[in-house]
Amino acid sequence: MAGLRKVCILLFASFLSYLSIQNVKPDEITTKRIVPLKGVCYSPFRDNQSPETGNFPSLNEISEDLNIIEKYAENIRTYGNDNVLFEIPRLCDEKNIRIDVGAWLSRDYSFNNESINNLIQIANSGYKSVKGLIVGSETLLRNDLTKAELISYINQVKNSTSIPVTTAEGWYFWLNNRDLADYVDYLTVHIHPYWEGVSIDNAVSFVIEKYNLVKSTYPDKRVVIGETGWPSGGAINKASIPSEENQVRFVREFRDAAARNNIDYFIFEMFDE
């Protein structure tokens, strides 16, 4: 139906995997508990909506999304907090959803200041749902800010709230920027086997290997996988072949591996934008 969100196949992969393991028949679905994913990445923009054009979703649309999310995931991770996105933590507080709130950082310093101020205001609003604050996502990868500038924003947030603060970068950035880790309370790490040309057969073991590499480098820091996943479509990247079948397989295998290794994670992503 027009206007309804297209939920990524990863959610149904988790659901169907549970049914298969538990030998649940279709007519028994309503009486069985769905085992949720630990976390999913969430951006609320629908067709013809974009922060770049200033066309944002409505509060009702975001609430509809969260009603779906709470059936499939325990936590969400967001990227921005401007405009109506500022209200997402409040809406999560009304539902059974925990959230790591993001502040998007770019080369626009005026926008950055607004984003940081919003994050601090959210952090100090008393929302029980807010468990972490993510200051920037792949900011160094894009070369949008210098490391010193990013650290300055991180310190500004840390000095203004008691909620744990982090920034999100690729696993290799954390290995090559060890001084950055001194300024965050925990590490948010992106690990995408598809972008590194890894085959689906080795995808989950690749993610676990890189997670363990970061964890062993920072044994005293909590490490969260802030993004991982597998595309259902698109171009082949070396040994990485996108398909719905491979996406289902990745989510099933990764969810189980993460549970065995006690890894906190966010699957990318909750909805197709």
Q: What percent of the chain has pLDDT over 70?
A: 87
Cα angle vertex 176, ends 228, 207, to 5°? 25
**Biggest CA-to-CA distance, the chain:** 57
Q: Where are the domains of the chain?
A: 9-45+56-267
Q: Are 141 and 181 in contact (CB under 8 A)?
A: no
Tell me what the mean pLDDT of segment 158-186 comes to: 98
User: Residue type at 1?
Assistant: M
pLDDT number for residue 20: 46
- Predicted confidence at residue 271, as pLDDT, reads 76
DSSP state of 239: T
Give the residue ranges of DSSP H helices in the chain. 9-22, 59-72, 88-93, 109-123, 147-158, 171-176, 178-181, 200-217, 244-260
Nearest CA to 150 out of 188, 116, 114, 100 is that of: 116
pLDDT-based confidence at 273, cuts 50/70/90?
low
Cite the DSSP H helix spans in 108-199.
109-123, 147-158, 171-176, 178-181
Average pLDDT of every residue of the chain? 90
What was the pLDDT predicted at 119? 99
> Is the per-residue pLDDT at 188 higher than 90?
yes
Q: What is the mean pLDDT of residues 65-83?
A: 96
3-class secondary structure, 95: coil
Q: DSSP 3-state assignment of 139?
A: coil
135 confidence band (pLDDT: 50, 70, 90): very high
Tokens found for residue 241: 């072949």
Question: Which CATH topology does 9-45+56-267 take?
Answer: TIM Barrel (3.20.20)
Tokens of 29: 């679905």
Whether 191 has a pLDDT exceeding 70, the answer reads yes
How sure is the predictor about 21, in pLDDT bands with cuts at 50, 70 and 90? Answer: very low
Mean pLDDT calculated for residue range 77-100: 97
- Count of other CB atoms within 10 angstroms of residue 125: 11
